[in-house]
Structure 1
Amino acid sequence: MRGSTLTKTIKDRIEFLRPVAQRGLFNQIKRGLEKEGLRTTPASKLAQTDHPKALGSTLTHPYITTDYSEALLEFITPVSSKLTETLGFLKDLHVFSYRHLGDEVIWPASMPCKLQGNESIPIAQYGSSNSGIMKTVYRHGLSWRYGRIMQSIAGLHYNFSLPEALWPALLHLKYPERDAKDPQVLQDFISEQYFALIRNFRRYSWLLLYLFGASPAVDKSFVEDKPHQLDELDTDTLFLPYATSLRMSDLGYQNNVQSSLKICFNSLENYVNTLNHAIRTPYAPYETLGVKVDGQYRQLNTNILQIENEYYSDIRPKRVTESGERPSEALTQRGVEYIEVRCIDLNPFEAIGITETQARFVDTFLLFCLLENSTQIPDDECKMLDENHSDIVNRGRLPGLMLQTPKGTISREEWSHQLFDRLQPVAELLDSGNDNAIHQAALDAFRPLIDQPELTPSAQVLEAIRKAGSFTAFAQQQAHQQADLLRTTPINKAREALFIQLSESSIRQQADQEEADQIDFDTFLADYMARQSA
């Protein structure tokens, strides 16, 4: 150990959980992946075609949809406790989709292909039902507020929930006087612990950005003629020499309006209250835009956030919503169910955007964040965390980069080694119910990156860009190689049959929704907003 010791809390928890871990408790961790990818032409231009009908309805298909743009595919896996099954499902979604993309390919990088300006990015369409129109109007709102170019960025969201059997055991350890058989007592504890995880994630997620960041460069068309701090790598590419993830920088999913929100993660109540304040508070520049102008909707409302999903965060507490229910309502009524990690760049060297080794590391990291002490985050520490985040995404590979902690500054290398040392017993705990040390192997795979930044994905991407001649040339090469691979990869026959059936049934479901609507969109939206402000 490099002078870093585990806190008593995490030591006690690991020892307490070891017997149940050996019986396979952590094999019940559940995950779901959401992976985005732009459809592009063979010449690396953004596709202007409609979402392929053979892939079903983007409104009602559970696994194949679109995010912001009609060209931004989103693949969603079902929740599963078997990681290999989740990754296999994601691969088959790619394989199936490639059978219906013609000569189009899926862009492998988080930062987009060469763009032809803001208006060249088609907004996603979801049909004529009220719920479908609302999804499209929301995206028009994002276009007016932030521009479409920012919305063309792609990423991978990692949804994670811990085994139900874990919570009564942890509750008894921390609060032996509380009744774990009382459903409300248990759910309150679960929510409290997920927020503890989130706070530690915010403290340490710079490590994920360093290890997995893969967007150190962009095509010049991404910035258009706007001011920026990037250097020129070649005639078509801008970059920062030590950047890890420009996607997660001020260049990507950040904006000044939201940075002033101060969404609080110290408790579920504080989180929901600060989020609700943002979705109920008008913002003068958005009021100037108007809601409906010349008969066309520009946005859902003029508030700081149109809906909760507009809040950009690298991690979110989540709960599956019921029909017509807002995310914050679901959290308030039934508590946190899982967390969504949103800071992972697409791995452009991997056909499905992530490797199993990466996922095993994320699992270890998230369990560490749960088991470790997690005090509340005061404003001064919050500012410190934001500055660490900015330093890592913009210059994380700079040797000797100093990061801030409440106890003083520390080099990125030293802190990384300390964290890996503290992750080691958590990896051992996860592996104690397995035949092999897969989580410890993941730590071993990534530890060399600490002292050899040239091994990180961001450095590897820069090297590949230099060889290819530009960012676009590199990503285009990867896209075509991956397309060739996926077009010839066999598909699980049961899943193929399922995807065909869902494509057909989702189109019928969308038609049924459109037929069933009894009120016009103006009334529908007014009713929705009234519920939101209630």
Structure 2
Amino acid sequence: MLDNLLNVIKEEELSRQLCKSFLGIEVEEHRVDHNGKLSREPHPQKLGSRAYHPYLQSDFSESQSEIITAPFDSVGKVIQQLDTLQTILTRSLQNNDRIWPLSMPPALDSLDKQFIAEHFDRPAYKNYRQYLIKKYGVPRKIITGVHVNYSIPNSFFECLYKHYEKNFENFNSFKNTLYFRIVQNFVLNRWLITYLFGASPVAERGFFTHSSDPKFEHPVRSIRNSRFGYVNNRADQVNVTLYSSLENFIDGLECAVKTGLLYGPAEFYGPVRLRGQDRLSDYYTKGISYLEFRVFDNNPFSTNGVDRNALIFLKIFLIYLLVTPVDEKNIKDKLKQAFDENNAVALEQPDKITFKLETGKVVLEKMLELVKFLGLESEETSRILQNFNNVLTHPKLTPAGRLMPVIKNGSLQEFGNKVSAKHKQLLTDANVLLPAMSNFSDKTQSLIFKAVELGINYTIEKRGNNRIILKLTYSNITKRVDVENLRSINAQKYLCKLFPALKIE
């Protein structure tokens, strides 16, 4: 159905459009106090209401902040906004709170779990949350991670569709097929992401408390990505074989919800989610808009939980998955094997060579050949792919491997405390308000800072003569501001004048 896809992409000169695919990042992270215990402070009062805030939300617990970037077509822009949002969140923290840098939560006692269960200031989610606590318990629900949203420009699909139109019922069917190929290949190769980016080698005191919980003999690569991490219960009957086809995925989830095995589609914790439609059946008629990859541990060596090199690698990896055919023969068995292999890699000792080494070498070599073939090779991409190839053969360079020397008595609590304090200092002691935007004027930084605090969506537009226009949107009202032409302003008063409906809490 998709014969000769790679050559068609090259002939149609679509490589650059793939490079301009969109990434958006969601980073979950806990607020902790100066002792490294989960914070009991409410969601920062300076931030606009979570009912409408486009960037700064909270997740399962009040201490669990979530940063959500807009989708961007360049990694540089994603990182710039992520750093900006992280800085604003950190500067908004109350009473000496700071951000915990690890996916696995800090040490928990019974009072912590009780506090989390009883305190949550979002009534609309109360019933669902109580259901999740009863089913999974508090600890598993407060594991954090990084989610990556990925989409390819529609113009890319439209150009390709002309070559394959006869093989598909309609355009959305064609687009779904390409997106689902990425999904299947991602699940089949998930172990590589777990190896390269796994960073949850130990669980702190109070996480595993039941007799049936695992007793690890050594640190591992990623508890979060293992069968003991953020996964559905086996009884839910929504295992990895859902990914055997788009039809099986949709039908399986609909059946699980209809029969009460799942509360709703959001309770599916697989490695990839389809995104863009409210109802699962609408993917058939309206198509997949983007994919959400949910397997990345927080990187404690980055103030943002993820770094530029990882995202550039991911973009190339996803292009590789797009152009690599999936052998559908015995696909359910292959998916089961991939699940088992990922779990095995997740539970390996972090400083030991992975049993998937040779397979990984082949994948990295094919990725390098791909960027050369498509004319996407640059000094940066070559360096990054070579670096990750080096990480593949030197496990001590992986995030989990780098954590091994700082594990003390089976714990990263002391390390987490030190890093959370260090990251806070880095983000708040800078000479400028928003370090990632230091090339912009103080007025621009101040206006963006206050806009984000209040829950106003911002976009930076550049006009002729390097003029910077700030596009601000709140409650479906959009204003454009030529910041440099403004006199000295009080940012909050100015924004309230622009948007009279703005809610100041």
* TM category, shorter: 0.7 to 0.9
Distance, in Å, in 1 between the alignment partners of 2:215 and 2:19 is 44
Pairing 1:356–2:295 present:
no
Please, which of 191, 200, 222 is the counterpart of residue 215 of structure 1? 200
Given that 1:95 and 1:487 are in contact with CA atoms closer than 8 Å, whether structure 2 keeps it comes out as yes
Corresponding residue for 1:453?
Answer: 395
SS of 1:317's partner is strand
Corresponding residue for 2:486?
Answer: none
Opposite residue 304 of structure 1, the aligned amino acid is L
Pairing 1:328–2:269 present:
no
Matches within 5 A, 1:382-393: 382-393=335-346
Pairing 1:113–2:106 present:
yes
Pairing 1:477–2:418 present:
yes
Distance, in Å, in 2 between the alignment partners of 1:365 and 1:47 is 37
Corresponding residue for 1:518?
Answer: none
Corresponding residue for 2:405?
Answer: 463
The range that moved more, 31-40 or 96-105, is 96-105
Deviations 1:154-198 (A, max 9, x none): 00001111122221343344x25358xxxx711111111111111
Corresponding residue for 1:165?
Answer: 155
Corresponding residue for 1:245?
Answer: 222
Corresponding residue for 1:254?
Answer: 231
How many percent of aligned residue pairs carry the same amino acid? 25
Deviations 1:460-512 (A, max 9, x none): 0121224x983100111111110101112431415314213427978x9xxx9
Given that 1:123 and 1:136 are in contact with CA atoms closer than 8 Å, whether structure 2 keeps it comes out as no
Please, which of 444, 449, 452 is the counterpart of residue 499 of structure 1? 452
Deviation at 1:366, TM superposition (A): 1.1
Deviation at 1:203, TM superposition (A): 0.9
Corresponding residue for 1:310?
Answer: 267
Distance, in Å, in 1 between the alignment partners of 2:285 and 2:170 is 13
Distance, in Å, in 2 between the alignment partners of 1:168 and 1:463 is 51
Deviation at 1:83, TM superposition (A): 1.6
The range that moved more, 370-379 or 253-262, is 253-262
Please, which of 38, 48, 56 is the counterpart of residue 46 of structure 1? 38
Label 1:431 to 1:99 Cα distance change in 2 as closer, same or farther (>3 A): farther
Opposite residue 371 of structure 1, the aligned amino acid is V
Label 1:396 to 1:191 Cα distance change in 2 as closer, same or farther (>3 A): farther
Corresponding residue for 2:442?
Answer: none
Corresponding residue for 1:146?
Answer: 136
SS of 1:55's partner is coil
Opposite residue 309 of structure 1, the aligned amino acid is A
Deviations 1:378-426 (A, max 9, x none): 3322221121011011016475654xxxxxxxxx111111111111123
Label 1:488 to 1:136 Cα distance change in 2 as closer, same or farther (>3 A): farther
Aligned residue pairs total: 445
Distance, in Å, in 1 between the alignment partners of 2:374 and 2:97 is 41
Given that 1:428 and 1:440 are in contact with CA atoms closer than 8 Å, whether structure 2 keeps it comes out as no
Label 1:438 to 1:9 Cα distance change in 2 as closer, same or farther (>3 A): farther
Corresponding residue for 1:440?
Answer: 382
Please, which of 230, 245, 248 is the counterpart of residue 270 of structure 1? 248
Label 1:59 to 1:125 Cα distance change in 2 as closer, same or farther (>3 A): farther
Opposite residue 29 of structure 1, the aligned amino acid is S
Given that 1:194 and 1:336 are in contact with CA atoms closer than 8 Å, whether structure 2 keeps it comes out as yes
Distance, in Å, in 1 between the alignment partners of 2:20 and 2:147 is 20
Please, which of 147, 169, 177 is the counterpart of residue 192 of structure 1? 177
Deviation at 1:62, TM superposition (A): 1.2
Deviation at 1:115, TM superposition (A): 1.1
Pairing 1:341–2:293 present:
yes
Deviations 1:49-75 (A, max 9, x none): 211121121222111101111110000
Corresponding residue for 1:427?
Answer: 371
- Structure 2 segments unaligned to the other structure (5+ residues): 438-444, 458-473, 476-495
Label 1:308 to 1:176 Cα distance change in 2 as closer, same or farther (>3 A): closer
TM-score by length of 2: 0.81
Corresponding residue for 1:35?
Answer: 27
SS of 1:222's partner is coil
Opposite residue 171 of structure 1, the aligned amino acid is Y
Distance, in Å, in 1 between the alignment partners of 2:102 and 2:152 is 30
Label 1:124 to 1:25 Cα distance change in 2 as closer, same or farther (>3 A): farther
SS of 2:35's partner is coil
TM-score by length of 1: 0.77
Opposite residue 421 of structure 1, the aligned amino acid is E
Distance, in Å, in 2 between the alignment partners of 1:201 and 1:443 is 18
Given that 1:167 and 1:190 are in contact with CA atoms closer than 8 Å, whether structure 2 keeps it comes out as yes
Corresponding residue for 1:526?
Answer: none
Corresponding residue for 1:287?
Answer: none
Distance, in Å, in 1 between the alignment partners of 2:105 and 2:15 is 45
Please, which of 6, 26, 38 is the counterpart of residue 14 of structure 1? 6
Label 1:497 to 1:77 Cα distance change in 2 as closer, same or farther (>3 A): same
Distance, in Å, in 1 between the alignment partners of 2:361 and 2:84 is 37
Deviation at 1:259, TM superposition (A): 5.9
Distance, in Å, in 1 between the alignment partners of 2:349 and 2:160 is 36
Given that 1:430 and 1:439 are in contact with CA atoms closer than 8 Å, whether structure 2 keeps it comes out as no
Opposite residue 268 of structure 2, the aligned amino acid is Y
Opposite residue 42 of structure 1, the aligned amino acid is H
Corresponding residue for 1:88?
Answer: 80
Given that 1:198 and 1:315 are in contact with CA atoms closer than 8 Å, whether structure 2 keeps it comes out as yes
Distance, in Å, in 1 between the alignment partners of 2:363 and 2:56 is 37
